[in-house]
Every structure is written in structure tokens, then in C-alpha cells.
Structure 1
Amino acid sequence: MVKLWLAFTALLLFVLVPLELALHQVLVRFYADQVTEPLLYHSQQLANLLADHDEAIKMAPMMGQMVGGEVIVLDAAGQPVDFEGASTVPPPEAGVAAIRSGRSFIGQVETPAGDSYIVTGVPVPDGRGGVMLLAPAEPVQRSLTVARRYLILAGGVTLALGTGLALMLARSLTRPVQAMERATRAIARGDFSVRVPVTSSDEIGRLGEAINRMSAQLDAYETRRREFLANVAHELRTPLSYIRGYTQALAEGLVADPAERERYLKIVHDEAVRVGRLVDDLMDLAQMDEGQMALERLPLDIRLPLEQAVETVRPLAEEKGVALEVDLEADLPTLEADGGRIQQVVFNLLDNALRHTPPGGTVRVTARPERGGVTVRVTDTGEGIDPSLLPLVFERFQGQRAGGRGLGLAVVRSIVRAHGGAVGASSRRGEGSTFWFWLPAR
């Protein structure tokens, strides 16, 4: 703030000092003109009278009285003429020389006694001498001194007010900047609860609003990050505890029955697959969040990834005793999409449906042309979804049901949205659920 105030003050001095000097010169010229112009005029009048009548010299004292000064009349040789009321001040040599050469003269002369006079001189026509009028310079100097004093006073007051205003302006500019600096330092330390007071709508105010938005976003991001890490740790803890417990039992020879050993190995394998899929989903979501997931968009007949996903889960459905039904219309429009990612979407929806459909139930896959694109629905006959969880089913770890990882549906939503599509779900308790996604046609 001090540097800014000094900069403002220096700028003010840079403007005021030349202005003061210019005004002083203007005042000097003004007072000089106010004195010399009447002197020159009356000098010329007296010179003209002397050119016409020698007796006009008697009017010289009156001319001096009219200007409040004294009169000197020079003869053709440049010597002062003695007459009643003539000035006793010696004429300046420069003035005498100017008059003898036929030129007017304006200047100053100072007597040995210290008196100062303003002098004007004009030649008498036909080289017959000249006339000088002398006015005391003291009133002019006194007026200039007073004017200079007021000028300095006005400049000082202006400088004081200007520096005060500069201080206020510097404080008004630096105070929000300092608050922003403190806020950004706090944010850098990890305190995302700090906010900057915004008191204006200018650039400073908009910068403060941007900092507040950034702080709020970082606060929300940090909250989600902590929740995400806690959920990931929770999701990994269960399968890892199974894997550790069953492998320890197998390693220590606690299971002698071959059938029981086979069952333990299958549990370990299933949990390892579960951890692997969890890691894959986490990697996919991380890439999507950072915008690094590359989509290979090509003309796509959506029947192909749908059928491939269905065939992938068919052994699991048969093992569980769940019927898989597929109903794909023949005239589905061509999409421009990444077939591998769309197959991943359908697989995740089928996996979700199979996990929540009891033996003897049915999972049905349909595809219909709708709204300039294709809508795919995966319907199950499971237990349904609690109404409180339904709005959250596509959120990470938010809408997961028993046996779910809480990530598969989040991956579905991210992939579909990356293709410019939409997702949704509907359910009734005890009557099953329907998950759908829509993709625009090519």
C-alpha cells in the first residue's frame, strides 16, 4: 500500500509542480502587462505631443501622475531634459540606446537607494529625443508576492488533498487485494472454507467472486475426495478380507475336503475378479474426470455391442437360473459411437440386473428407435429399488444396493454422457427395475 500511495503522490507532484511554475509565469506576465501597457500608451501619447508642440513638455508631470510614476524626457543627444517635475532617476543606458535607435524600450531600473522602477520608453518622431515613464515596481512585486503566496498555498492544499485521496484510493485498492492474498494463502494451506468479502462489481469484485467460487469448488472437491477414498477403502476391505482369510486357510492346510477346497478357491477367484473390476471402474472414472478417455467414434450398429454383452453374461445367467430375453428392432438407426465402450455400458447394466434378480427371474434387453436416436432398456424382475435411493443410483457409492460396488452405474452415466446421450432408471419395490440409456443417431 505504501508503494502505491507513493506512486500516486509522485504522480500528483509531477503534475502539480509544472502547473505551479506555469501559473507563476502567467501571473508575472499578467502583472507586467497590466503595468507596462498603460506606461507604453502614455509614453507614446506624450511623445506625439512633444513632436507637435515643444510646449507639451509642461504636460509631462501630469502624464507621470496618471500612471502613478515619474517622467524623463530625453533630447536628441539622449540627455535628460530639465523641467519642473522631471524625474531624478538616471535613465537606463539600454533604454537611451534603444530610443536613439528609434525603438521602444521596456525594462527595469534600480536606484542607488534601492528603489526599483518599471521603465517604458518610446522615441519622439523625427529623432527629436524620447520619453520615458517610470512606475514603482514595489506594488507590482508586492502583488506578485501575494499571488505567489496564494498560489503556493493552493498548491499545498491541493497536494495535501491529493495525497489524502491517493492514500484512500491506495487503501481501497490494496485492502481487497490483501484479503485475496490472505485467502489464496489459506487455500494453498488446504483451508477451503475461507471466503473473500466482495463489495464491488468491478474487476476487483469479479476477481473476489472467482476466488470464492474456486474455494467452494475445491472445498466440494476435497469433500468428495475424502468420501471417495473412504468408500474405495470400504469396497476393497471386504473382498480383500475374504481373499486373505480363505487363502490363509488353504495355505495352512485347514481344509482337507477337496470339494470344500474347490469352493474356497472359487470364492478367492470371484473376489479377485471383483477387485479387478473395481480397479478397472476406478481407472475409467479417473480418466473420464480428467477428460483423458479417448472415444473411437465410428459408424456403429448398436445390435452388435448389445448381443456381445448379452453373450458375455449368458453363462452367469444360466448358472444363476435367470432367463435372458433380447428384443432388438430391425430398423435401428446407425450411431456414431465407440462400440467397446457401449458394450461396457450394456455389460454393467446386465451385471447390475443379474445381481438383483433372484433365480427364476428374467432380465430383458430391448432397443427401440426414439427421439432421433436409440433407447436401450435393461429390465429385471428383482426386488426393486428403495425410492430414496432411486435418484442416486448413478452416483458413485451413493445409490448402491446390497452386493453392488457403487461404481458400475457411475461408469455407465459417464460413458453415455460422453457420447452426448442420457441415462435414467425407474423402479417399484418388489416389481423390479428398468435402467435405460439413449444415444443420438449418426
Structure 2
Amino acid sequence: MRCNSIRVKLWSAIILTILIILVMSMIFQTSFLSSFYYNQKVREVEEDARDIARALGRNEYNFNVPYIDAIRNVNDVIVVTDYSGRITYITGSTDYKQGWFFGLKYLNKILKGQKIQDENKMLRGLDSIIIGVPIVKTQNSLWDVKQKQLYEQYIESEDLQMFIGAVYIITPLEPLEITTRAIRTQFLYIFLGAIIIASIIALFLAHSFTEPLIKINDAAKEIAKGNYNTKIHLKSSSEITTLGDTINNLAKQLSRVEQIRREFIANVSHELRTPLSYLKGYAEIMIDGLADTEFEREKYLNIILEESERLGKMVDEILHLSQIEAGSIQLKLSPFSMDSVIKRTIDKMLPLAVKKDISIKYSNLDGDLLLCLADENRIKQILINLLANAVKHSYDHSNILISSYRLNDRIYVCVRDNGEGISEEDLPFIWDRFYTAGKSKDKSIEGIGLGLSIIKSIINAHGCDITVNSVVGEGTEFCFWLPSYQES
């Protein structure tokens, strides 16, 4: 598996995201919980020390009474000293004895009524915390008023002789460290479990995401090789399935284009071969002097002329379409009467329709000149091509209907034939170059499939559009619109 593949990158991104979240959570939780437990422990020990100090200040305990009720942890050490730092009571430790001095470095703060908080290794060399509070000499009758306020706020301006000693409680930090280690161990197991589960899920997601892309890529390679029968069958998210359908449709379109290209080459080869064979054959007859009479010579020359014109028309259609698509042809816009152009075009195409006993009927629904602003010569070309196409695909003894009308600022023209029609399968491709939806029975008007493509290119160059409606066996109708001419 390549390191730069989508599958590896997706898997790595998911795992990295989970790792970052877990590491940040572990750091936050251990740091937060350690701080929380530490501060909670300090508050509890300080409250115990104050309870003892208040009781001693009111003479409710003497130094021979144990202070077990105030001890939350059996490992705590309680030390009571007088105002000089001499131990008057101690429990929980054999390292110090009554009468020894303790906490001299904290004495100044204690005599100022301040509490002290420090860390040491007094308990069997383990990390521990020491909390010390002063003992304030009070009278029971005054405790609820002035002395309680004095004790709680430690007013420094009062007489120092009121602080008669201190209470120290030393408690080990080992339970806190054990708790922190337990949390870290728990997070380690969670961490490892989450990585394993996340890896499985990430691999599954990466596979489900990349597998369709691999299939699409393989299909694209096959299409690039010319294998347009490639099909992709995907069961994935809607977006990827849509992409697969697009590739399938692309293959279908390319297959159609390839078929059209082959047909075009075959058609062009056939169409060019016919006039070229006529030109060559009759030219050889003329050169060899085989035309015995003037009539025969004139006949052969007319055939050469007709085939030359036919050949030139084919070449002109191909070059014309290329020029339109390249944008090298400039439209010459001018106002003209669509009604007049349609009538002249009908007169020109009528002899072609008469050969098949087809009548051409025209209806101007508005009865006016239908002034348009467009390139008149190009529009004539469009009408000729549409009428020639209608004659080509109409049944003998049928009718071709042309209608025109004005709607708002547009002039609409529709050409309808009664012929073989265009199948629904062919409709999306009739505007493609070299595409012929059907074969005309009239070989004299057989084309090479450029007419409709030229028509659409010219209409679109005017910023307008052309539509088609067709029913097989009933006929086809083409409608286009152009901007009407406004004198203002």
C-alpha cells in the first residue's frame, strides 16, 4: 500500500485526530483532577486544623485529650504548639516529642494570624503537605461576636498576645498520587482500546471510501484506452454513486461519439468517392475524346460541374462549421422581415418538395412583417437547411407546415414535417456533428450530418435557442426564436 494513497492518508488522518483528542483529554483530566484533589485535600485539612484551634482557643480541650474526632486520615500527624513554637501536644508521629520545638520557620506568620501551607517529607520520607493555623485566645461569651470574626479574618493589627499557639496537621500526598496514577493507567487502557477500535473503523471507512474511487479510476483508464463498454456498479454514498453514474454516462456518450465519428468517416469517404469518381471518369472521357457529339460533351461537362459543386458544398459545410465553432465568423446584424425571408425560401425549396409530391404551407399568425434583428444571410441558411431536412425525412404526398409569430420581444419560427420522426434515443444527439438520425430514401438530398449542428451554432451565436419535438412515425417540429427589431 503506497504511503501517499488516499486510503493511507484517510486512515492516518482519523487515527491522528483520535490520538490528539485522547492525549489532550488525558493531559487535561490528570492535570485538572490532580489540582482538584490537591485543593480539596488542603481545604479539608485546613478545616480540621481550624476546628481544633477554635476548640483550644475556647479551652474546650486540654492537651491530654486525643483529637481523633478531627482526624480524617489515620496517617495524619497533629501537632499543637504554644506561641513560642514548643510542642504541647502531638499524635500520629514518634519523630517529635512533647516539649520539642516545631514549626519555628512558620512562627512569624502564625503570630500574625496567617495560615501556612507547605510541602515536606515528614511522614516516612513520603511527599506530604503541612497545614498550620493559629490558636486565638477567646472567651465563650465573646466568641460568637468579635473573636470569631477576628479568628476567621486574622486581623494583623490586634495584639499578638491573643494568638497563643498553633495547630499543625501533616497529611500524606500518597493517596493523591495513587489516584493520579490510577487515572493515568485507566487512560492508558482507554487509549490503547480506542486506538485499536479507531484503527478498525478507520480502515473500514478508508476502504469503503477508496474502493469506489479505485473502481472509477480503473474504469477511466479503460475508457481512455477506447473501451467504452466499461460499466461501474457502485454501492456507496450518494455523491460517489453519482460520480460513478457520471462516468458510466460519459462512457456511453463517448461510445456514441465514436460511433458517430466512424459513421462520419464512412459517409464522407462514400460521399467524396462518388463525386470524385464522376469527376475522374468523365474527365478521362473528355481527355480521350470519347464524346462524339457536342451534346455528349455538354452533358459530361454538366455532370462534372454538378459533382464539383456537390463536392464543394461538402467541404464548405465542414469548413463553415469549424469557423462558427472557432468564433471566427462575425455576424452582420441588421433589421429584416422574417415573413419575407420565409416566403423567398419556400419558393427556392419548392421544386425539391415537388419531386416527392410534398406541399409547403406557411402561416403568419400575426399578419405583419415580423421584423427581426439578426444576420439575414445566416437565417436564410437556417431556413434552407430546416426545409431541406423536412423534405428529406417527410413521407411522399405529405405536408410541411411553417408558422411564425411574435411573442413579447421575440420572433418565433417553427417548421413541422409529417414524416418518419426521430426516436427518443436519437434526440439528444441530433445536434452533434456528423450525426444522422435516419437514412433518407432520397439519395439526391443525402447529407453528411452537419446541417443541424450548423443551425444550432448559428442560432446560439445570436444568443438565441432552437428546440425540437418529435414523435416517431408522425413527424418532427423545429422551433427557434430571434430578437425582434425595435426602432427605438
1:185 alignment counterpart = 221
1:213 alignment counterpart = 249
> Is residue 339 from structure 1 mapped to residue 376 from structure 2 by the alignment?
yes
The alpha-carbon distance between structure 1 residues 265 and 95, as it changes in their structure 2 partners (threshold 3 A), is farther
1:121 alignment counterpart = 132
2:309 alignment counterpart = 273
The alpha-carbon distance between structure 1 residues 308 and 214, as it changes in their structure 2 partners (threshold 3 A), is same
The correspondence for 2:113, drawn from 102, 114, 121, is 102
The alpha-carbon distance between structure 1 residues 192 and 159, as it changes in their structure 2 partners (threshold 3 A), is same
The correspondence for 2:258, drawn from 222, 237, 240, is 222
Q: Secondary structure at the residue paired with 1:214?
A: helix
2:19 alignment counterpart = 13
2:147 alignment counterpart = none
The alpha-carbon distance between structure 1 residues 293 and 170, as it changes in their structure 2 partners (threshold 3 A), is farther
Separation in 1, partners of 2:323, 2:422? 26
1:301 alignment counterpart = 337
TM-score when scaled to structure 2? 0.69
Separation in 1, partners of 2:173, 2:470? 103
Q: Does the aligned pair in 1 maintain the 2:422–2:476 contact within 8 Å?
A: no
Structural mapping, 1:50-65, within 5 Å: 50-53=56-59, 55-63=61-69, 65=71
Q: Does the aligned pair in 2 maintain the 1:305–1:343 contact within 8 Å?
A: yes
The correspondence for 1:75, drawn from 78, 82, 88, is 82
More off after superposition, 160-169 vs 232-241? 160-169
Q: Does the aligned pair in 1 maintain the 2:349–2:387 contact within 8 Å?
A: yes
Letter in 1 for 2:84: A
The alpha-carbon distance between structure 1 residues 161 and 293, as it changes in their structure 2 partners (threshold 3 A), is farther
Q: Does the aligned pair in 1 maintain the 2:129–2:172 contact within 8 Å?
A: yes
Q: CA deviation at 1:291?
A: 8.3
Letter in 1 for 2:78: V
Separation in 1, partners of 2:94, 2:130? 14
Q: Does the aligned pair in 2 maintain the 1:60–1:71 contact within 8 Å?
A: no
2:269 alignment counterpart = 233
The alpha-carbon distance between structure 1 residues 107 and 167, as it changes in their structure 2 partners (threshold 3 A), is farther
1:157 alignment counterpart = 193
Q: Does the aligned pair in 2 maintain the 1:5–1:166 contact within 8 Å?
A: yes
Q: CA deviation at 1:243?
A: 1.6
The alpha-carbon distance between structure 1 residues 71 and 326, as it changes in their structure 2 partners (threshold 3 A), is closer
Q: Which runs of 5+ in 1 are unaligned?
A: none
Q: Does the aligned pair in 2 maintain the 1:38–1:67 contact within 8 Å?
A: no
Letter in 1 for 2:218: R
Letter in 1 for 2:41: V
Q: CA deviation at 1:272?
A: 1.1
Q: Secondary structure at the residue paired with 1:128?
A: strand
Residues 145-197 of structure 1: per-residue CA shift (max 9 Å, x gap): 22321122223323333343333333333333333333333333433333444
Residues 33-82 of structure 1: per-residue CA shift (max 9 Å, x gap): 4433332111111111222228532334424654322211122122333x
More off after superposition, 89-98 vs 275-284? 89-98
Q: CA deviation at 1:128?
A: 1.6
TM-score when scaled to structure 1? 0.75
Q: CA deviation at 1:328?
A: 8.6
Q: CA deviation at 1:313?
A: 7.2
Residues 334-378 of structure 1: per-residue CA shift (max 9 Å, x gap): 14254323433454577789999xxxx999998666696787889
**Pairwise CA RMSD:** 4.7
More off after superposition, 229-238 vs 213-222? 213-222
Separation in 1, partners of 2:423, 2:90? 123
Letter in 2 for 1:403: K
2:9 alignment counterpart = 3
> Is residue 398 from structure 1 mapped to residue 438 from structure 2 by the alignment?
yes
Separation in 2, partners of 1:305, 1:396? 27
The alpha-carbon distance between structure 1 residues 236 and 397, as it changes in their structure 2 partners (threshold 3 A), is farther
> Is residue 171 from structure 1 mapped to residue 207 from structure 2 by the alignment?
yes
The alpha-carbon distance between structure 1 residues 328 and 108, as it changes in their structure 2 partners (threshold 3 A), is closer
Separation in 1, partners of 2:128, 2:135? 22
1:137 alignment counterpart = 173
Structural mapping, 1:242-257, within 5 Å: 242-255=278-291, 257=293
Q: Does the aligned pair in 2 maintain the 1:70–1:135 contact within 8 Å?
A: yes
Separation in 2, partners of 1:396, 1:272? 23
The correspondence for 1:264, drawn from 300, 316, 319, is 300
Q: Does the aligned pair in 2 maintain the 1:8–1:166 contact within 8 Å?
A: yes
1:26 alignment counterpart = 32
Separation in 1, partners of 2:470, 2:35? 92
1:39 alignment counterpart = 45
The alpha-carbon distance between structure 1 residues 12 and 72, as it changes in their structure 2 partners (threshold 3 A), is same
Residues 198-251 of structure 1: per-residue CA shift (max 9 Å, x gap): 434544444444333333322322222222222222222211222222223433
Structural mapping, 1:359-398, within 5 Å: 396=436, 398=438
The alpha-carbon distance between structure 1 residues 197 and 254, as it changes in their structure 2 partners (threshold 3 A), is same
Letter in 1 for 2:168: M
Separation in 1, partners of 2:304, 2:400? 31
